[in-house]
Copies of this chain bind each other. A is one copy, B any other.
Amino acid sequence: MGIDALDGRLITLLDQEPRVGVLEASRRLGVARGTVQARLDRLQATGVVRGFGPQVDPAALGYPVTAFATLEIRQGQGPDVRAHLATVPEVLELHTTTGEGDMLCRLVARSNADLQRVIDRVVGFAGIVRASTAIVMENPVPLRIIPLVEQAAQDG
């Protein structure tokens, strides 16, 4: 189920330099070309590596404001609310959670003023009882995975 040290080094290498091909990777890692290909195939087959899609920066797209909204949902309205939020482009992800609220979603907007428009659109739905928004000021730790990969590689 897990990954080993070589898998970890391979993922780390691909993360730092996505351009490197299988051949170049085998040289860097000091293993045979076939080994790298087999590892890569296995990592993708087991779902550890989902793919190599483009990493897009919302800020560079013109959406520099990020916020997290905690939503309280009217009983039984969950499915409707999900469908509604899925139609809003500025909703980058949505989770159902335990705790204070029922859902947590990540939003982006063109400005603080524009965020109001986005929130209005998000909460402008009968199934949503209440919304609490936290605007992101800084992002000391951007979304990362490498430390976890190395941890998993050590565990076996």
- Interfacial residues, chain A to chain B (CB-CB below 8 A): 1-3, 11, 14-15, 18-19, 46-63, 66, 68, 70, 82, 85-86, 88-101, 104-106, 108, 132-145, 147-152, 155
Interface of A is mostly: mixed
Identical subunits present: 2
Q: Contact: A48 with B52, CB < 8 Å?
A: no
**CB closest residue in chain B, given A136:** B95
Instruction: Give chain B nearest CB distance to A70 CB in angstroms.
Output: 8
**Most B CB within 10 A of own CB, among A56, A58, A91, A98:** A56
Q: List 20 A-B contacts (CB under 8 A).
A: A11-B54, A15-B53, A15-B54, A18-B54, A46-B60, A48-B57, A49-B54, A52-B53, A56-B145, A58-B145, A66-B95, A89-B148, A89-B151, A93-B139, A94-B139, A96-B137, A96-B138, A97-B136, A97-B137, A99-B134
